[in-house]
Every structure is written in structure tokens, then in C-alpha cells.
Amino acid sequence: MRIVEPESDRPHYPHHELAIFPTLAYAFTLEDTIDAGPILRRISELRSASTALTDEPDSAPWQFEWMSSTNLQTEPALAPLLSAATVCAESVLRKEGWEFESLEVTECWANVSSPGGSHRLHSHPNSLLSGVWFAAVPPGSGQLEFRDPRPSGWLRLDRQTTTAANAQVIGVDPQEGLLVVFPSWLPHSVATNRGNGERISVAFNLMPTGRIGFPTASFTR
Ligand SMILES: [Fe+2]
């Protein structure tokens, strides 16, 4: 909460902004923690061997995108990244005050976006928290964009200026080593790669394991 200061000579009545039901996403810097080299080499190997979901030529939004299979959580090369990411995600859930024992990566995949590639608006089903870690980010390769999920479109004024309160899309600039953790239900997309190189990221989904609240409620394998 912060006190809003007067910005004009109009009558001003001091007030507080109340962040009611904010949507929280988190950015972690793993640049000094995770060595991207082995991960990039493994992604390159997987891409060379892949025949699935690769550069589908007849589907325009996907034609410059390659996505691996979604079980990379079993890849040894990704273990340090996913271990750190799980610790990061657990820390934000505990800060938010949720009851759970532990988190587990249930799906993990790599994305390679060539120049011209983008990723359409979507959310992640069957998941509590999601994350994306940026391994290679050439200049101009596109923002990660989150879309306002609130049902306010039935009466939305035109914007005079864009602010955090009226933005419909909020973009995060990707950086190599950046990990973004967000609620899986939050709609997001990736802007067009307008750079000259490939943007490479690793995405994952997390679910709680063990007891999740009531004594009889639990997630188990
Ligand atoms: Fe996604």
C-alpha cells in the first residue's frame, strides 16, 4: 500500500491504493546459479532427433516454433535447473501462505523460437504453478506477455495513458538466466521473435505432492 500524492492543481484527497486480489508472478535471476551450456547442448540433441511438433509448416502460429516432448523432467541435464526452480516456486507458495508439503515438476519442455516465431495465447491445464527459464535470448526476440484475466471487458474505457491499472497486456523482457514463475491459469503468450537468432527457453508445470490441507487430502503418485 502506498499513499497517492497529488499530481495536479485539482482538489486532492489523500487516499491509499488497495491491491485487492492481485495476481502475483515472480522473477528470479538464476544467471549465476545455472550453467546454460549443458542444457542448450541437450536441447540441440533432442531437436536433432525429434520428429514431433517440429516446425509444423501448415500451422502459421507454429511454423517457426519447435517444442520438445513434455517429459524433460527426466532429463539429467535439466536436473539442476528444475531443482532450483522447484525451490523458487516453493518459496513463493510459502510466502503466499498456502498449505502444502512439497512441489514436483510434472511436465517440462523446451521451446525454440526462430526469427518470426511466436507463441499464441494459452494457459497451462492440470497444473498449479508454471515457470519459464530463458536459456538464449537474442536481442529483439520478443516479450513474455501476460493477459489481464479479469472479467472487466464488458465496460472498459479507452485509455488516455497506459498504466499498471488499465493495461490489458503486461510484458516481461526475457533475459538469459531469468526464471519467471506464475499461476498456471494466467493466460500468456510470447511475442514475435523479431531478432536474428533463436530464442530458447525451458518451461515447466508444478503440482503439490503429499498432504495439501485436510488430513485426508493428498496428492500421491
Ligand atoms: Fe505457456
Q: Which residue has the higher pLDDT, 150 or 131?
A: 131
Q: What is the DSSP letter of 25?
A: -
Backbone angles phi, psi at 171, to 5 degrees: -100, 145
Across the chain, mean pLDDT equals: 89
For residue 155, tell me if it sits in a domain. Answer: no
- Can you give the pLDDT at residue 65? 84
What's the CA gap between 53 and 71, in Å, rounded? 14
- Can you give the pLDDT at residue 59? 46
Please write the tens of the pLDDT for every residue from 36-50: 999 999 999 999 987
User: Which residues have CB under 8 Å from 130's CB, separation 6+?
Assistant: 124, 181, 182, 183, 184, 203, 204, 205, 206
Which cell numbers hold the place of 219?
496428492
What string of DSSP letters covers 52-119?
SSB--TT-GGGTTEEE--SBGGG-GGGHHHHHHHHHHHHHHHHHHT---SEEEEEEEEEEEE-TT--E
What's the CA gap between 33 and 202, in Å, rounded? 15
Domain hosting residue 105, numbered range:
26-148+167-213
For residue 13, tell me if it sits in a domain. Answer: no
Please write the tens of the pLDDT for every residue from 105-137: 999 999 999 999 999 999 999 999 999 999 999
- Can you give the pLDDT at residue 151? 78
Contact 189, 31 (CB under 8 A): no
Q: Which residue has the higher pLDDT, 53 or 68?
A: 68
- How many Å is the Cα radius of gyration of the chain? 20
Cα 20 to averaged position of ligand 1 atoms, centre (Å): 25
Is pLDDT above 80 for 142?
A: yes
Cα 186 to averaged position of ligand 1 atoms, centre (Å): 9
For residue 186, tell me if it sits in a domain. Answer: yes
The CA angle 66-52-111, to the nearest 5 degrees, is 25
For residue 7, tell me if it sits in a domain. Answer: no
For residue 10, tell me if it sits in a domain. Answer: no
Mean pLDDT of 8-32: 90
Cα 189 to averaged position of ligand 1 atoms, centre (Å): 7
What's the CA gap between 99 and 188, in Å, rounded? 26
For residue 107, tell me if it sits in a domain. Answer: yes
Closest CA relative to residue 65, chosen from 114, 100, 23: 114
- Can you give the pLDDT at residue 11? 84
Cα 8 to averaged position of ligand 1 atoms, centre (Å): 42
User: What's this model's pTM, rounded to 2 decimal places?
Assistant: 0.88
Cα 187 to averaged position of ligand 1 atoms, centre (Å): 8
Cα 205 to averaged position of ligand 1 atoms, centre (Å): 9
For residue 17, tell me if it sits in a domain. Answer: no
- Can you give the pLDDT at residue 4? 62
End-to-end CA, the chain: 42
Which cell numbers hold the place of 97?
501462505
Is pLDDT above 90 for 146?
A: yes
Q: How many domains does the chain have?
A: 1
Cα 124 to averaged position of ligand 1 atoms, centre (Å): 6
Closest CA relative to residue 57, chosen from 117, 112, 108, 110: 117
The CATH number of residue 82's host domain is 2.60.120.620
For residue 207, tell me if it sits in a domain. Answer: yes
